[in-house]
């Protein structure tokens, strides 16, 4: 398991390759409507897939190891409320919320199918101030 405060580019590329070149890419990732970003992060944080998607009580933990649970959330946090209420009394839980710092945009012409050249989005991903306050409290 990698700690959140370190970044290993080789390990990240390995996780990307594992997901993108797997059979999952053809048939949809995972069993619970999992998207590519979610799967890559899961493989990056814990390459040993025996720790992935572990039934824990009424819920399934994204990653559960002897050290605790990692929940990767790529959408709204309210979806985690019930899971966290079930997990927290028994496990240490780390919520991973990916924020893209730089994003590139491309458009597809609906009539021709032509894809425009990539352009950098003017928006930059940042950690919302309310999350920083919550972490500090």
**pLDDT tens figures, 47-95:** 999 999 999 999 999 999 999 999 999 888 888 999 999 999 999 999 9
Give the model's pLDDT for residue 134: 58
**pLDDT tens figures, 24-52:** 544 444 445 568 889 999 999 999 999 99
Residues 6+ apart with CB under 8 A from 23: none
Alpha helices in the chain (DSSP H): 9-20, 24-27, 36-45, 81-87, 129-136
Alpha helices in 21-128 (DSSP H): 24-27, 36-45, 81-87
Give the model's pLDDT for residue 88: 95
Give the model's pLDDT for residue 93: 95
The half-sphere exposure of 74 on its side-chain side, counting CA atoms within 13 A, is 12
* pTM for the predicted model, two decimal places: 0.71
Give the model's pLDDT for residue 28: 47
Give the model's pLDDT for residue 26: 47
Pair 46, 54: CB distance under 8 Å = no
Give the model's pLDDT for residue 132: 60
Q: Which residue has the higher pLDDT, 1 or 87?
A: 87
């Amino acid at each position: 398991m990698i700690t959140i405060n370190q970044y290993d580019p080789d390990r990240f590329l390995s996780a990307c390759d594992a997901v993108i070149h797997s059979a999952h890419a053809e048939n949809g990732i995972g069993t619970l409507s999992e998207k590519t970003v979610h799967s890559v992060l899961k493989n990056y944080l814990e390459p040993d897939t025996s720790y992935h998607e572990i039934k824990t009580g009424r819920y399934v933990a994204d990653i559960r190891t002897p050290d605790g649970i990692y929940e990767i959330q790529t959408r709204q946090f309210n979806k985690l409320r019930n899971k966290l209420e079930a997990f927290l009394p028994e496990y240490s839980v780390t919520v991973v919320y990916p924020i893209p710092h730089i994003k590139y945009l491309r458009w597809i012409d609906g009539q021709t199918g032509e894809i425009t050249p990539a352009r950098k989005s003017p928006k930059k991903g940042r950690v919302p101030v309310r999350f920083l306050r919550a972490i500090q409290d």
